[in-house]
């Protein structure tokens, strides 16, 4: 009897050259070793590892908007299902990886490409190759102001989630350095070398939002939730 191998199509967009990288991944191959999807430009790769112990799939995905890749853990049933399954950047609504039926994945790659091109145009970037040079010229305070604005709004609307406040009702402002805020402030925002670190003052859960990209900062404007870990 011949067993049909369970497989899916996986894709991501290279943050260096902007190309879509797509490949079929089967569970037999994934069970044997780490799978790496590499862009033809040689400057990015997505890593996929299957854990036999808990039947989960762990992915390390390069991000178009952030300086470092993001780690995701999904169940094998989600990873190998026929429908489209997307993995967004934690700081924006931009989908940076996707799995599923090949035509659905191709369609999502095309949709996110148009979305990315619109973002580039809004930020005055004419082509993807100049993205990193453009970012290096930007002033950090300008990027931080955008990120801080979004954090303030999310906190005020009760959309920052953590271990002890999974559904906060909000209303208290984020506590920022050099600001005279009330004792009811739940979250602290600290400017670090890597970005802006948001920390829950009750449970200590935190997340750092990168501030090294104007493109990423504008994408963060569309963020409707922030999860601290």
Q: Provide DSSP, the chain.
A: -PPPPPEEEEEEE-TTT--EEEEEEEHHHHHHS-EEEE-TTSS-EEEEEEETTTTEEEEEE--SSSSS-EEEEEEHHHHT-SS-EEEE-TTSS-EEEEEESHHHHHHHHHHHHHHHHHHHHHTT--SGGGHHHHHHTS-HHHHHHHHHHHHHHHHHTT-EE-SS-SS----SPPEETT----TT--EEEEE-SSEEEEEETTT--EEEEE-S-HHHHHHHTT---EE--
- At residue 85, the pLDDT reads 92
- Among 82, 99, 131, give the residue marking a domain's end: 131
Q: What is Dmax (Cα atoms) for the chain?
A: 72
- At residue 105, the pLDDT reads 93
Same domain for 86 and 14, yes or no, is yes
The count of structural domains within the chain is 2
**pLDDT-derived band of residue 32, with 50, 70 and 90 as boundaries?**
low
Distance (Å, whole) CA 41 – CA 55: 32
Same domain for 44 and 63, yes or no, is yes
- At residue 139, the pLDDT reads 45
- Among 131, 163, 194, give the residue marking a domain's end: 131
Cβ-proximal residues to 192 (8 Å cutoff; 6+ apart), any chain: 208
Distance (Å, whole) CA 64 – CA 99: 17
Same domain for 153 and 84, yes or no, is no
Same domain for 34 and 111, yes or no, is yes
Q: What are phi and psi of 193, to 5 degrees?
A: -65, -25
In a domain, 2, yes or no: no
**pLDDT-derived band of residue 10, with 50, 70 and 90 as boundaries?**
very high
pLDDT value at 17 more than 70: yes
Same domain for 21 and 71, yes or no, is yes
**pLDDT-derived band of residue 47, with 50, 70 and 90 as boundaries?**
very high
- Among 69, 101, 131, give the residue marking a domain's end: 131
Q: Which domain holds residue 212?
A: 138-227
Same domain for 31 and 98, yes or no, is yes
Same domain for 85 and 148, yes or no, is no
Mean pLDDT of 63-79: 85
- At residue 100, the pLDDT reads 92
Same domain for 161 and 85, yes or no, is no
Same domain for 35 and 112, yes or no, is yes
- At residue 106, the pLDDT reads 93
Identify which of 32-36, 105-109, 162-166, 182-186 has the greatest average pLDDT. Answer: 105-109
Same domain for 90 and 168, yes or no, is no
Lowest mean pLDDT among 87-91, 172-176, 187-191: 172-176
Same domain for 99 and 186, yes or no, is no
Percent of all residues in the chain with a pLDDT value above 70, rounded to a whole number = 76
């Amino acid at each position: 009897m011949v067993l049909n191998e369970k497989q899916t199509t996986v894709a991501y967009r290279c943050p260096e050259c902007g190309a879509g990288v797509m490949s079929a991944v089967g569970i037999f191959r994934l069970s044997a070793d780490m799978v790496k999807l590499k862009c033809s430009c040689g400057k990015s790769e997505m890593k996929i590892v299957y854990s036999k112990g808990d039947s989960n799939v762990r992915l390390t995905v390069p991000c178009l908007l952030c300086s470092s890749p993001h780690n995701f853990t999904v169940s094998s049933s989600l990873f190998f299902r026929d429908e489209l399954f997307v993995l967004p950047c934690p700081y924006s609504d931009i989908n940076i990886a996707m799995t599923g039926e090949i035509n659905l994945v191709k369609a999502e790659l095309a949709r996110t490409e148009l979305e990315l091109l619109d973002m580039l145009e809004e930020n005055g970037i004419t082509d993807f190759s100049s993205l990193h040079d453009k970012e290096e010229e930007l002033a950090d305070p300008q990027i931080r102001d955008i990120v801080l604005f979004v954090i303030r709004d999310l906190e005020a609307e009760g959309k920052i989630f953590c271990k002890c406040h999974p559904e906060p009702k909000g209303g208290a402002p984020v506590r920022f350095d050099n600001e005279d805020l009330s004792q009811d402030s739940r979250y602290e925002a600290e400017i670090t070398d890597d970005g802006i670190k948001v920390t829950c003052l009750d449970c200590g859960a935190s997340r750092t939002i990168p501030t090294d990209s104007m493109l990423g900062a504008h994408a963060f404007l569309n963020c409707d939730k922030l999860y601290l870990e």
